[in-house]
Amino acid sequence: MLRGKNILLGITGGIAAYKTTFLVRLLIKAGASVKVVMTQSASSFVTPLTLATLSKHAVLLDFVNEEDGSLSWNNHVELGLWADLMVIAPATANTLSKMAHGTCDNLLLATYLSAKCPVFFAPAMDLDMYQHPSTKETFQKLQSFGNIMIPAESGELASGLHGEGRMAEPETIVAKLTAFISDGMPLKGKKVLITAGPTHEALDPVRFLGNHSTGTMGYRLAEWAAELGAEVILVSGPTNLEASHENITTINITSAQEMYDVVHQYFGTVDVAVAAAAVADYRPKTVSDQKIKKQEGDLSISMVRNPDILKSMGTQKKQQFLVGFALETENELENAKGKLQRKNLDAIILNSLNDPGAGFGSETNKIAFIDKNLNVKTFEVKTKAEVAIDIWKEIISRIHA
Which residues, 6 or more positions from 397, have their beta carbon under 8 angstroms from its beta carbon?
A: none
Does the annotation count 211 as an active-site position? yes
Question: Residue 272: its pLDDT value, please?
Answer: 98
Q: pLDDT (tens digit, 0 to 9) for every residue of the chain, 401 residues total?
A: 788 899 999 999 999 999 999 999 999 998 899 999 999 999 999 999 999 999 999 999 987 776 666 666 778 888 888 999 999 999 999 999 999 999 999 999 999 999 999 999 999 999 899 999 999 999 999 999 999 999 998 888 787 778 888 999 999 999 999 888 877 789 989 999 999 999 999 999 999 999 989 999 999 999 999 989 899 999 999 999 999 888 999 999 999 999 999 999 999 999 999 999 999 999 999 999 999 898 888 989 999 999 999 999 999 999 999 999 998 778 889 999 999 999 999 999 998 777 666 666 677 889 999 999 999 999 999 999 999 999 999 999 999 86
Q: Is the pTM of this model over 0.85?
A: no
Sign of the dihedral defined by the CA atoms of residues 58, 61, 63, 64, in that order: negative
Question: Residue 179: its pLDDT value, please?
Answer: 85
What would the 3-class secondary structure string for the chain be?
CCCCCEEEEEECCCHHHHHHHHHHHHHHHCCCEEEEEECCHHHHCCCHHHHHHHHCCCCECCCEEEECCEEEECCHHHHHHHCCEEEEEEECHHHHHHHHHCCCCCHHHHHHHHCCCCEEEEECCCHHHHHCHHHHHHHHHHHHCCCEECCCEEEECCCCCEEEEECCCHHHHHHHHHHHHHHCCCCCCCEEEEEECECCEECCCCCEECCCCCCHHHHHHHHHHHHCCCEEEEEECCCCCCCCCCCEEEEECCCHHHHHHHHHHHHHHCCEEEECCECCCEEECCCCCCCCCCCCCCCCCCEEECCCHHHHHHHHCCCCEEEEEEEECCCHHHHHHHHHHHCCCCEEEEEECCCCCCCCCCCEECEEEEECCCCEEECCCEEHHHHHHHHHHHHHHHHCC
The residue from 94, 211, 335, 344 that is catalytic is: 211
Question: Residue 23: its pLDDT value, please?
Answer: 97
Burial (0-12, 13-18, 19+ Cβ within 10 Å), 318: exposed
Distance CA 237, CA 253 (A): 5
**b/e 240-267 (16+ beta carbons within 10 angstroms → b):** ebebebebbebbebbbbbbbbebbeeeb
Taken in order of first residue, the domains within the chain and their CATH numbers are: 6-183 (3.40.50.1950), 191-286+303-399 (3.40.50.10300)
